[in-house]
Amino acid sequence: KLDGLICQTSVSDAEAEMMHDLEHRADKITTEIVDRLNSTLITPLDREDIYTLAQNLDDIVDLSQGAVERMVLYHTKKPSIGAQAIVRTIVKATEQLKTAFCCLNSIHFKKSEILAATEEVYRLESVGDSLYRQEVARLFEQEKDAIEIIKWKEILEHLEDTLDQCEEIADLLKGVVLKYD
């Protein structure tokens, strides 16, 4: 959803509300996971691993929602091509995380798929870091309005933090694979 929202001229109130609802659903799912962890005797993975993965996934949604929320609050102009490229990189990274999570039910047989997905997340995070640095440099070189610079620098930081969070989850997934191999 973030990809479609940030590549437009501006984010409407309805779209921002949709992202806000998505963030609340993610919070509810995280709470349900914790509740189930507390009531389940035997879990397929260590409780701490499940809890940490759930919290970190929720953080990705929180950061994404924060970027969209700032676009609305700050009444930003259309995102630059660089900002759009960062968002596309986030989408690709989350797709890789989804692939890895879908393989966890057969962790012993799908170890190579999980590790390949985590390596791709690492690569994408590195690409995102480069895009972020280029975009901040472009912002300071080409944007003449100091207020626009402040707005977009904060939004870009949220997007970069989202990619960092994807990398954190990839690290956790890699650790889980090594633990259960």
For residue 111, give the nearest of 47, 178, 165 by alpha carbon: 178
* 121-162 per-position pLDDT tens digit: 999 999 999 999 999 999 999 999 999 999 999 999 999 999
| pLDDT at residue 124, rounded to an integer | 98
| pLDDT at residue 41, rounded to an integer | 63
This prediction's pTM:
0.85
CATH of 1-180, one of 1.10.150.300, 3.30.499.10, 1.10.3720.10, 1.20.58.220: 1.20.58.220
Q: Check if the beta carbon of residue 161 is closer than 8 Å to that of residue 63.
A: yes
| Site of tokens 């609305």 | 72
Q: Check if the beta carbon of residue 125 is closer than 8 Å to that of residue 94.
A: no
Residue 9 has pLDDT above 60, yes or no: no
All structural domains of the chain with their residue ranges: 1-180
For residue 153, give the nearest of 164, 141, 165 by alpha carbon: 141
Interatomic CA distance for residues 168 and 97, integer angstroms:
11
Please tell me the least confidently modeled range out of 43-52, 95-104, 140-149: 43-52
In 106-145, which residue ranges form alpha helices assigned H by DSSP?
Answer: 111-142
